[in-house]
Chains A and B, each alone.
Chain A
Amino acid sequence: MGCKYMRKKKRMGTLIRRKYISLFFLFIISLLFVIWPLCLLLAASFMPEDELFSRYLSVLELGKAPVKPAFLPTYPSIMPFKELLLHSPGFFVMFWNSCFQVFSVLAGQLLVGMPAAWAFARFNFRWKKGLFLLYLILLIMPYQVMMAPSYLVLDRLKLIDTHWAVILPGIFSTFPVYVMERYFESIPNAYLEAAWVDGAGALITFIKVGIPMGFPGIMTAFLLGFFEYWSALEQPLTFLKDKSLWPLALYLPNVTADQASLAFAAGIAALLLPVLLYLNGQTYLEEGITSSGVKE
């Protein structure tokens, strides 16, 4: 948005000043709100065990002592990460399990969810509103409620104890349908009419107009879905008995007191992929918006 203001040269001075004040303001907020606690976690992940004990004894529930937070470890050590990456083979297996499960779910969600969202947004058919309401209600069901009957279904399909026990129900989550529907709905009519006039059919219009123009929505659904499934605990725990199929989210709670330093390091390591993905996803998000030409 900034460049648009720039064009008005006479107000530029005040605007730039205002912009920097606001940026500073934003910086303070994010510092207070997010960065500060994150730095604590990051610093703790580089602490050797004895320093952790002297600072965070009560945090680890190992004893009682005042918390002495630090943004920088006194005796920085990469041992926790070394331990995590080199000496816990389970960590890598779980990391790849997580990747496989999460990306399969997301790919499936898009494949199945995009057309469904398109249908809800751009077609009229019998029972549409009822179905949509149903999709929303299913979204709000607490996981405990769905767990037992879902198990029944997965067991009948012989999927228990395979990656697919987690992936398939994830694919058919109604969440991405709902998110994308909203974005598809906001595509201006003119584009669809133009496509129709050009003789494009429903499928072509969906692929040529719907997907590019709904891209921000698709990307949003993708990212939000990623955060959700990356930290999913309950389903894998119930549907996967074989621990070699477990995702990373289940590794973390098992970090015990004598591996205190691992607890922090594992948290930071688990954070890494979402951050990288988000940074990349952001690029696509922006590209998606510009290429769709919503703003022309």
Chain B
Amino acid sequence: MFRNKRILALMAGILSVTLLGGCSLSASGTKGGKDLSAETENSVPKGAANPPKGRYMEEEILFPEEIRNMTQCGRVQREDGTIAFYFESSEGIAVYSYDGKEFKKQDTPAPGPEGIKMTQVFIGQDGVTYYGGFDKEYIFHLWSLDAAGQAQELFSEVFKAKEGMDYGQIPDYIQILENGDLLLSLYSGAGVYSQDGKQRFAIAQDYMWGGYRSSAFLADNNYLTVSNEKIVRYDITTGQPSGEFEIPEKNTTDYSEMTLFSDGEGGIYASCRSGLYHTTENGTIWEQIIDGTLNYMSRPDFYAYQFYKMQDGSFTGLYQSGSSEQLMLFKYTFDETVAAVPPEILTVYALKENPTVRQAAAVMQKNNPQVRVELRIALGEDEKVTEDVVRALNTELLNKKGADVLILDGLPAKSYQRKGILADLGPALQSVRGEILPGVLDDYESNGQIYYLPARITMPVVSGSEEAKDALLSFDKMSTYEGTPPLLSPSLYEDVLRNAARLNYSQLFNEDGSITDENLRRYLTSVKAAGDRGSVKVSFTEEDIERLDIVNRGVTGRWNADYAKNKCASGTENLRSVEDSMFALVTAKQKNTEIESANETYIPAAMIGINASSQNQKLAEMFVNILFEKDVQDASLSDGFPVRSTSLDSWVDTEKSYIVSYSENNSDFEIEAEWPVKKDRELIINLVKNLETPAVVDETIMQIIIDGSKDYLSDKETVEGAIQTIGNKIGLYMAEKE
């Protein structure tokens, strides 16, 4: 017996070691993990009696009424910490200073040189205020005012147009050094010029388009800018780098969204989408000062323009709104009474990053400081939806876990509804229900309940002659269309099949998403007939691409240039916004035709549902509500049209100065489109308002069709064979669900 006890003790020992080891190591395991993933940072320590208090809160500062709609033409932070804003007014330049509390009107400065539109103002290291602006030739001018108020032009040699160019140097950051030299940053690089206009040395920095470099500043003898995807400090007296810092936000490639500014003591502040960071002069670690995911810093339709540190320790951020192009001011003050980390957490799950959802998260957190919205994005931008990811989610859902709110794009929404995973959205939608397009709302309502609803829709449109449009929207006419140019441009059968299925959704698929042999036959034969005439192929060889001049649509985007080039008789597009429709509208006008929606079908996006077993029903409902509210629906985030009718209407009235152009490297084909006139905007918005059939092609069935029709479409098999293969597999797919 004695021995037995020893064995028992040993075994118990082994067990407890394993389990204890498990506990202690699991704690360190999670800790190690947190450092690497920004998304899960700052999770609340559960059960903490006294959560740490204090964080920066965001507050919008409205410009005084009289200047709110004026165009800003410069701003500068003065020695005393106040910011002077310069506005174009009818009586010349108006200046208002802001000290963190209020705006004060200041004296109007003397006018600059004749015929020059002022675009910026800055205080040089020599303490003099300098002004800059462009003339009608788009040549930059820099001047200061002498004691008599007379404008003195400087460095005009540097800025004038080089030979053979019709515009001059466009500075995106500019400063005057203590010795009077000029620091000039251009889109491709920077340099220091002595007063005779000669370049003393060049400074390497990353390419940045747009004429405004927010990620650069000069402080003392140091010029900080982004070079080789790192923040580099250059000694401005020698042009040599003297320090290097990592970009605080990982995975950021768009540095135009980052602003850098000095802390006045050699250190750096950096503002990114994820927040405001600080590091010391020789620091290696960025300390997060403000968590940007909790406020508008992460709002996708806002772009940070400039940040300032105020004398009272607060920060001021200047943003531009993507939809209105207005500049807005936000103030960040430290509030000791608010919990450092919001105590309530709402999790939102989505397969892919979605700007509308991010917008809603930013709005919700801003309006509810006690709530933190945690977005769980399962896949990176170029990752495919895999079964593994859905399986992992299902495992959570089956155990009544998982995120509180689910974005159902790409997920089996119907299955979830049937299995009771989703809660009724009724209470959440109560206040916004009347605003949602009835054509959309009706499709998701059954027995008075709604389990999921898209917050955005995209609209497939067709353009071309009446016959061509008919051919795209009916299989019988598609197979008999014999005009020149052919109906379809040289492209891949996969794309044509997908497109045709989307455009003809309701005549192709049965109620349950399956497809009859007869429909399948008409679909395949018509696509093949039209495809053969238009050199559509299953896959292209290098020579094909050369010979047929195939435009890589993956690069040029959704717009079909082949129709504009007369290579085919029809164009189809999936419109997401008014901006998106600009090319289509111009092309239609050129060809004297009109664009049309595809049998009133639309494609839902940002489909939202609430997890029925969520412990945060109230917060989840609030999130859903915000998603359909004005703040989110009004924003144009190029991921779809709003489903809120007043938000749609607002687009009819929106005027923008916005031009897009398209050209190809190896041809003289060029097209330019301006912001649509009101009549065209109305046309588009009316098309959207009339949409009523959702077209969600079951991806599994689509993949079966694409794989199964390859041999037929490349003339290796009869259509009967293809129908049989596809029919069997779809039969199997449907049988699984029985």
A residues neighboring B (CB under 8 Å): 63-65, 93, 108, 111-112, 115, 144, 147-148, 151-152, 155, 158-159, 161-164, 167-168, 171, 201-203, 233-234, 237-238, 241-245, 253-254, 256, 258
Chain A residue with minimal CB distance to B7? A203
Residue numbers in B under 8 Å from A242 (CB-CB): 30, 33-34, 37, 40
Q: Give the docked Cα–Cα distance between A129 and B40 (Å).
A: 48
Give bound CA distance, A61 to B117, whole Å.
54
User: Contact check: which of A152, A234, A245 meets B29 at CB < 8 Å?
Assistant: A245
Q: Does B36 contact A (CB under 8 A)?
A: yes
Residue of A nearest to B393 (CB): A238
Partner of A162, one of B3, B26, B376, B541: B26
Query: Which residue from A65, A163, A237, A241 sits with its C-beta under 8 Å from B541?
Result: A65
How many chain B residues touch A (Cβ–Cβ < 8 Å)? 39
Q: Is the CB of A244 within 8 A of B32?
A: yes
**B391 A244 Cβ-Cβ under 8 A:** no
- One of B382-390, B451-459, B472-480, B643-651 at the interface: B382-390
Beyond known contacts A147-B391, A159-B26, A171-B18: 7 more, CB 8 A cutoff: A64-B540, A164-B25, A164-B29, A167-B22, A238-B395, A242-B40, A243-B37
Interface stretch, picked from B84-92, B396-404, B571-579, is: B396-404
Chain A: which residue is nearest B27 at the CB level?
A162
Assess the B18–A111 pair: CB atoms within 8 A. yes
What residues of B have a CB within 8 angstroms of the CB of A203 in the complex? 3, 6-7, 10
B238 at the interface (CB under 8 A from A): no
Roughly how many angstroms separate A168 CA and B385 CA in the complex, as a whole number?
29
Nearest 9 interchain pairs by C-beta: A64-B539, A244-B36, A162-B26, A244-B33, A242-B33, A238-B392, A148-B398, A201-B3, A163-B29
Contact A152/B399 with A203-B6, A242-B33 known, Cβ cut-off 8 Å: yes
B677 within 8 A of A: no
Report whether A245 and B33 are in contact in the complex, using a CB–CB cutoff of 8 Å: yes
**Quick check: A115 and B33 within 8 Å, CB to CB?**
no
B contacts, CB < 8 Å to A: 3, 6-7, 10-11, 14, 18, 22, 25-26, 29-30, 32-37, 40, 376, 380, 382-383, 386, 388-389, 391-392, 394-396, 398-399, 401, 538-542
Assuming the contacts A111-B14, A242-B37, A244-B36, asked whether A233 and B399 have C-beta atoms less than 8 A apart, the reply is no
> Which secondary structure characterizes the binding site on chain A?
helix
Most B CB contacts (10 A, CB to CB) among A63, A111, A112, A163 go to A163
A271 to B538, CA, bound (A): 35
- Establish whether residues A256 and B382, one from each chain, have CB atoms under 8 Å apart when the complex forms: yes
Chain A residues contacting B395 (CB-CB under 8 Å) are 147-148, 151, 238
CA distance A46 to B542 in the complex (A): 24
Contact call A115/B11, Cβ cutoff below 8 A: yes
Report Cα–Cα, A155/B400, bound state, in Å: 11
How far apart are the CA atoms of A63 and B554 in the complex, in Å?
14
CB distance from A100 to the nearest CB of B (A): 9
Q: Which residues of A contact B30 (CB under 8 A)?
A: 161-162, 242
5 contacts between A and B (CB under 8 A): A155-B399, A164-B26, A238-B391, A243-B36, A244-B37
Contact partners of A152 in chain B: CB under 8 A: 399
Min Cβ gap B411→A in Å is 16
Q: How far apart sit A151 and B34, CA to CA, in the bound complex (Å)?
A: 21
Contacts of B32 in A (CB 8 A): 244
CB proximity of A15 to chain B, nearest CB, Å = 50
B581 to chain A, nearest CB (A): 30
- Are B392 and A237 neighbours in the complex by a CB distance under 8 Å? yes
Contact residues in A for B18 (Cβ distance below 8 Å): 108, 111-112, 171
Please report the C-alpha to C-alpha distance between residue A168 and residue B139 in the assembled complex, in whole angstroms. Answer: 70
Residue pair B401, A164 in contact (C-beta under 8 Å)? no
| B22 in complex: contacting residue of A164, A243, A258, CB < 8 Å | A164
Interfacial chain B residues near A161, Cβ < 8 Å: 30, 33
A residues in contact with B376, CB < 8 Å: 241
* Cβ B396 vs Cβ A151 within 8 A: yes
Q: B392 and A163: CB pair below 8 A? A: no
Assembly CA distance A115 to B398 (angstroms): 35
Q: What's the minimum C-beta distance from B262 to chain A, rounded to whole angstroms? A: 30
Q: Which residue of B lies closest to A171 (CB)?
A: B18
